[in-house]
Amino acid sequence: MMPYEPAAIEKRWQEAWEKAGVFTATRDASRPKYYVLEMFPYPSGRIHMGHVRNYTMGDVVARYKASAGFSVLHPMGWDAFGMPAENAAMERGGHPKDWTYGNIADMRGQMKPLGLSIDWSREFATCDVEYYGQQQAMFIDMMEKGLVYRKNAVVNWDPVDMTVLANEQVIDGKGWRSGAAVERRELTQWFFKISDYSGELLEALDGLKDWPEKVRLMQANWIGKSRGLQFAFSTVDAPEGFDRLEVYTTRPDTLLGASFAAISPDHPLARHLERHDPDVAAFVAECRKIGTSEEALEKAEKRGLDSGVRVRHPFDTAWELPVYIANFVLMEYGTGAIFGCPAHDQRDFEFATKYGLPIPPVFVPEGTEEAALSEAYVPLKSEPVRYVRGFAGDEVQTGATAVNLAIDFCESKGVGHGVTNYRLRDWGVSRQRYWGCPIPVIHCDTCGVVPEAKENLPIELPYDVTFDIPGNPLDRHPTWRDCTCPNCGAAAQRETDTMDTFVDSSWYYARFTAPHSDTPTNAEDAGYWMNVDQYIGGIEHAILHLLYSRFFARAMHKTGHLPASAIEPFNALFTQGMVTHETYATRSADGRPVWQMPEDVVKHESGATLKDGTPVEVGPIIKMSKSKKNVVDPMNIIATYGADTARWFVMSDSPPERDVEWTASGAEATAKYLGRVWALSERIAMMPEGTGAEDDDLLRAMHRAIEDVTHAIEGFAFNKAIAKLYEFTNTLLKAKAGKAAMAEAMRTLAQLMSPMVPHLAEEVWAMQGGAGLVAQAAWPKALPDMLLQDTVTLPIQINGKRRGEITVPADMAASEVEKLVLADDAVIKFLAGQPVKKMIVVPGRIVNVVI
């Protein structure tokens, strides 16, 4: 007998699949289609176990659906633009393009041995000119439809590196490379009008029944619908042109608890005052030093400056409130101005305390009296409270009721109007970076900012750039910016901003349907393949990537690149759990942990050590990460055990939505099991022909396995499918049937295992005389007759005498048996209409009826 040798087997079958073109997706009107997609990877250079789990899940679905008769699309590509490539160029020299394509080649080389059923002919990277040129064409189409616009917006500016930083490059208010305090700067930038779709993106979440509830909730919160009141204060001592101050509030019921008004440092009034008042100028400059992220603003100390302007309370013109310029008011939300109610907003409370402003409560807990507060009182809006400074409705009511009444009341008094606001901001896509898709617009002295003519696309990134000085290399390229205006033909300059890399990943799923089309998509292919039937990826993309993709699908519909049926591009979403591992550490001389790689650790009965005997502390089981060194390299696992072991293991121990712990012993056990399947197959192959009998139990077990594994895979319960396969393997190991029956059962096992361990499955299939490739064989069907459970025959006694019997499934519930007894012909005849007083079913034994 030959041992199980995955290295040889796996390569051979991968070549066979490739030769037969098994995974080439073809539009086939005679078959239903199935599009399964895993979130495409960033080409960092190495695949990790998280990738293995993610892609194996998609592969199980893709292979299963193909066997079940679907025309399957299962593509792979690379999310290839972005800062790490530029950082690598800055730190180690070299070119972002070379670095990226080198990494792609490496990762493709690591992925192929996994034996994924991918249509590699559709592969592309978002940094391919062929791809981003089409993205530029769409940008121009979107400009035409009014989905793109330019405005000033603040960015994080690193004054030492003289460069714009992304929010994630600002760490504790400092530039990640220079360590310099980051400032806010205003630049003219490009925006996508995602806010046009806020309501629709929110409402359509309800229809995404096959998305995790958690993801829908996260999206809803991000879109952040709120209903409130917008109204104008009239001002006192304000500069000309500022006689009204518009504010937005979600708590108009607290208007009588107002103690100040506040405006953003970027509010037009603040801007105006800044020009005439050095104190304001100094304060506003201070505020701009905080980064632009909400998080940075959240963390910063709340500070304000009295502007000297005052406003009149809308319900009492003698009551004046000071207007502060405050660092916590955002220009981009509502109207950029608020009124503060310190009694019921913690931020306002801190502010009022700091600046000695009054804190009048509007409501108190039911059954209590008004008293001084030590912090803001912020009950749930659904909780009834007693209003002491209310102005609409009953004294005791919930906040929610009071807000609605307050809006109605204010409207009736001509104080503002009810408005719906969304937290979702327009999507700023400008990046002052080289390694991204150039924004296809041109700056002309005469015509202004105009889109590039489509026939001049793609606007290719120049290769001859340097990264020795900070800033955007496109800005300092000697000639790249020079162009002619497509409008007037005069000399003009290209835009040097590139697009946020989230743009690249917002439509790649559509491009996969026609990856080499000379338009962004192609109507027939998009019509046939869209939507993605099953999308699989990490929960970390639950908000931005999925929201941007949903917006893009709508924008692509509006610009004629996707059908209306594809505006929700992902029918079903699955968010997989992570691969975890124990952590190992030795101690440094001063007692700090020094993380150790699992491959360097030896486990003994008494504990763990390094190979030289140094004791190792075994720490908690956490997500594999480079920083804690608790990583296992998939390439090492494949080299040692083969891809099938890696694939089986990551699917086996936990439900796919949960984390799975990688253990060396688990991998070992998986490899052993697969070896046993191999040996069993060999043994059956060597059985003499025509010996032994049929085996009814084996046949039943086989159909049961077909039924259960199919169900489990359909329900994304891959771990359950695997548990059933272990069970069926054990049945086969013990079975004593003849060769024909054994071979049939073994072929079925191979088919059922094939989505998980496709190489071993092909081998077994071939050994057992299966025709063609198991990857192309039709999925087996369970025969309903073979699934009937064991039955029992129960005697029926009526008033102590045997009057008949009934045959039912052995595990049938007593209540079900009772129904069958009452419907039994012999019983009906005997009862002749007399009512039954009592019935006792003794499971497996007897039924007693009393009349």
Give the binding site for ligand ANZ (CB under 6 A).
Answer: 226, 248-251, 254, 328-330, 333-334, 336, 338-339, 341, 344-345, 421
Binder of residue 352, out of ligand ANZ, Zn ion, none (CB less than 5 to 8 A by kind) = none
Q: How far is the CB of 151 from Zn ion (least distance, A)?
A: 22
Q: How far is the CB of 326 from ligand ANZ (least distance, A)?
A: 8
Q: How far is the CB of 324 from ligand ANZ (least distance, A)?
A: 12
Nearer to Zn ion, 484 or 797 (CB): 484
Nearer to Zn ion, 220 or 447 (CB): 447
Binder of residue 717, out of ligand ANZ, Zn ion, none (CB less than 5 to 8 A by kind) = none
Binder of residue 33, out of Zn ion, ligand ANZ, none (CB less than 5 to 8 A by kind) = none
Q: Which has the closest alpha carbon to 751: 728, 779, 772?
A: 779
CA distances from 677 to 191, 672, 728, 731, 763 (A): 57, 9, 11, 12, 11
Separation between Cα atoms, residue 759 and residue 646, nearest integer Å? 12
Separation between Cα atoms, residue 832 and residue 822, nearest integer Å? 12
Nearer to ligand ANZ, 71 or 254 (CB): 254
- Which phi and psi angles does 324 have, rounded to 5°? -100, 155
CA distances from 571 to 9, 535, 718, 769 (A): 36, 8, 20, 39
Binder of residue 487, out of ligand ANZ, Zn ion, none (CB less than 5 to 8 A by kind) = Zn ion
Binder of residue 267, out of ligand ANZ, Zn ion, none (CB less than 5 to 8 A by kind) = none
Binder of residue 345, out of Zn ion, ligand ANZ, none (CB less than 5 to 8 A by kind) = ligand ANZ
Nearer to Zn ion, 302 or 494 (CB): 494
For 231-285, the three-class secondary structure string (H helix, E strand, C coil) is: EEEEEECCCCCCCEEEEEECCHHHHHHCCEEEECCCCHHHHHHHHHCHHHHHHHH
Nearer to Zn ion, 273 or 444 (CB): 444
Binder of residue 251, out of Zn ion, ligand ANZ, none (CB less than 5 to 8 A by kind) = ligand ANZ
Binder of residue 531, out of Zn ion, ligand ANZ, none (CB less than 5 to 8 A by kind) = none
Q: How far is the CB of 250 from ligand ANZ (least distance, A)?
A: 4
Q: How far is the CB of 703 from ligand ANZ (least distance, A)?
A: 57
Q: How far is the CB of 251 from ligand ANZ (least distance, A)?
A: 4
Say if CB 258 and CB 247 are below 8 A apart. no
Q: How far is the CB of 338 from ligand ANZ (least distance, A)?
A: 4
Binder of residue 719, out of ligand ANZ, Zn ion, none (CB less than 5 to 8 A by kind) = none
> Chain centroid to CA 487: how far?
42
Nearer to ligand ANZ, 220 or 330 (CB): 330
Binder of residue 776, out of Zn ion, ligand ANZ, none (CB less than 5 to 8 A by kind) = none
Nearer to ligand ANZ, 330 or 373 (CB): 330
Binder of residue 226, out of Zn ion, ligand ANZ, none (CB less than 5 to 8 A by kind) = ligand ANZ
Q: How far is the CB of 143 from Zn ion (least distance, A)?
A: 16
Kindly tell me the burial class for residue 586, based on how many C-beta atoms sit within 10 Å of its own C-beta (0-12, 13-18, 19 or more). middle
Binder of residue 401, out of ligand ANZ, Zn ion, none (CB less than 5 to 8 A by kind) = none
Place of tokens 């699908």: 553
Q: How far is the CB of 482 from Zn ion (least distance, A)?
A: 14
Nearer to Zn ion, 388 or 447 (CB): 447
Q: Per-residue string for binding with Zn ion, 166-205, x by CB under 5 A? A: ----------------------------------------
Nearer to ligand ANZ, 226 or 636 (CB): 226
Q: How far is the CB of 337 from ligand ANZ (least distance, A)?
A: 7
Residue 150 identity (one-letter amino acid): R
- CB-based contacts of 281: which residues, under 8 Å, 6+ apart? 274, 275
Say if CB 81 and CB 437 are below 8 A apart. yes
CA distances from 805 to 256, 306, 529, 656, 794 (A): 81, 93, 57, 47, 5
Q: Which has the closest alpha carbon to 375: 357, 395, 353, 397?
A: 353
- Report if residue 364 touches Zn ion, rule: CB under 5 A: no
CA distances from 655 to 92, 534, 581 (A): 42, 17, 17
Q: Which has the closest alpha carbon to 53: 114, 99, 123, 143?
A: 114
Q: Which residues pair with 221 in a beta bridge?
A: none
Residues of span 471-510 touching Zn ion by CB under 5 A: 485, 487-488
Q: Per-residue string for binding with Zn ion, 421-450, x by CB under 5 A? A: -----------------------x-xx---
Nearer to ligand ANZ, 336 or 656 (CB): 336
Nearer to Zn ion, 447 or 777 (CB): 447
Separation between Cα atoms, residue 509 and residue 535, nearest integer Å? 10
Binder of residue 249, out of ligand ANZ, Zn ion, none (CB less than 5 to 8 A by kind) = ligand ANZ
Task: Please report the beta strands in 640-685, taking only residues with DSSP state E, as ranges in sequence order.
Answer: 660-661
Q: How far is the CB of 438 from Zn ion (least distance, A)?
A: 19
Q: How far is the CB of 263 from ligand ANZ (least distance, A)?
A: 9
Say if CB 682 and CB 44 are below 8 A apart. no
Q: How far is the CB of 163 from ligand ANZ (least distance, A)?
A: 28
Separation between Cα atoms, residue 672 and residue 663, nearest integer Å? 14
Q: How far is the CB of 489 from Zn ion (least distance, A)?
A: 7
In angstroms, what is the C-alpha Rg of the chain?
34
For 88-150, the three-class secondary structure string (H helix, E strand, C coil) is: HHHHHCCCHHHHHHHHHHHHHHHHHHHCCCCCHHHCCECCCHHHHHHHHHHHHHHHHCCCEEE
Separation between Cα atoms, residue 704 and residue 681, nearest integer Å? 20
Nearer to ligand ANZ, 72 or 392 (CB): 392
Q: Classify residue 489 as left (phi > 0), alpha (psi -120 to 50) or beta.
A: left
Binder of residue 488, out of ligand ANZ, Zn ion, none (CB less than 5 to 8 A by kind) = Zn ion
Nearer to ligand ANZ, 264 or 432 (CB): 264
- CB-based contacts of 769: which residues, under 8 Å, 6+ apart? 743, 747
Nearer to ligand ANZ, 176 or 222 (CB): 222
Angle at 35 between CA 126 and CA 130, to 5 degrees: 20
Q: Which residues pair with 163 in a beta bridge?
A: 158
Chain residues that interact with Zn ion, rule: CB under 5 A:
444, 446-447, 485, 487-488
